[in-house]
Amino acid sequence: MKTLTLLTLTLLLTATLALTTATAQDSQRLLGLPEGATLRLGKGYINEIAYSPDGTLLAVAGSSGIWLYDTATYQEVALLTGHSDNVWSVAFSPDGNTLATGSADDTVRLWDGTTGQTRQTLTGHTDSVWSVAFSPDGNTLATGSDDNTIRLWDGTTGDTLNTLTGHTDGISSIAFSSDGNTLASGSADDTIRLWDVATGNTRQTLTGHTDNVWSVAFSPDGNTLATGSVDKTLRLWDIATGQTRQTLTGHTHWVTSVAFSPDGNTLAISSRDETLRLWDVTTGQTRRTLTGHTRAVWSVAFSPDGNTLASGSWDGSVRLWDIATGNTRQILFVFRDE
């Protein structure tokens, strides 16, 4: 299980700041930053990052809560706290009005995207919540946990719609297809399951990885599923047949996160080997290897326009990469060891 793998590196929440949103100028006061300061100094880890659908916010989930950055300035505008343990996962609703987070405290929180206040705390899982995902229409929230289950929640009321069972170990990652009819889940049981969202039944079980399937992502057209594993490989699957199209190798440590570009032509992969790779989806060839992080890279996310790739690392930084050149545009020091 992921809990056992990362137990020694799990940190308790260290911040007790109030929930709020603010302008970049006000955030210095609300986040306890000295006047003129733009960096948060302190120890912590970045676990997952996500852009808002309109690209105006970048959410950074970690050991201190959820930081929100204004992407026009990349200044901190809010820190959302309330979970009592590490925040492992974060996702915006399609309309950007709600932010969902999953935590090692076994709960899911729904936050108001405008006020930064907790709307609801969803309980029912009995272990860490590793992954959260909204359906394309925003009506359903899926959450995957180390308790071996996936829960489907009503995106408006927070009521449990269904509990999906079948995996024999913790759920590491989940993702909806573009039409919202299929949910993919990667598990520490080394398999991927494709679920019928309407019925909650397993459509297919995909096998081939030899270790924990850490990350899953559908292509924009819904025809391909990318999966990254602790076995250091990435697989591209044909959804229609359930067969592996390609197995991509090159990383020397776990593949931790996978993301398709908005046009579906490029796949970004991060790894515990401290690097990222950009792959050509058609040829399966590496376009670029991006270096600069000094510790494991845990999450990647494309901006909605596809021009920027954000990567979050346990070195305490988020790097913003220019897709065209592969150069680092900016580094956000969310945490820095003192």
Tokens 């970048």 identify what position?
Answer: 58
Rounded to whole angstroms, what are the CA distances from 144 to 67, 72, 86, 300, 313?
22, 32, 15, 19, 22
**φ/ψ bin of 36: left (φ > 0), alpha (ψ from -120 to 50), beta (otherwise):** left
Rounded to whole angstroms, what are the CA distances from 5 to 8, 29, 130, 172, 206?
8, 37, 13, 12, 23
Give the model's pLDDT for residue 8: 28
Is the pLDDT confidence value at 222 over 90?
yes
Sheet holding 192-196, edge to edge: 171-176, 182-187, 192-196, 202-206
Cβ contacts of 163 within 8 Å, gap of 6 or more: 124, 149, 150, 151, 152, 200
CATH match for 2-333 among 3.40.50.450, 2.130.10.10, 1.20.1250.20, 1.10.10.10: 2.130.10.10
Summary mean pLDDT of the chain: 88
> How far is Cα 127 from Cα 167, in angstroms, rounded to an integer?
15
> Do residues 255 and 228 touch, judged by C-beta distance below 8 A?
yes
The residues pairing with 31 across neighbouring beta strands, listed in sequence order, are: none
Note the pLDDT tens digit of each residue in 267-319. Answer: 999 999 999 999 999 998 999 999 999 999 999 999 999 999 999 999 999 99
More confident residue, 17 or 330: 330
Q: What is the 8-class DSSP label of residue 42? A: B
Is the pLDDT confidence value at 39 over 50?
no
Give the model's pLDDT for residue 33: 37
Rg of the Cα trace of the chain? 18
The structure's pTM equals 0.87
Q: How confident is the model at residue 335 (pLDDT cuts 50, 70, 90)?
A: confident
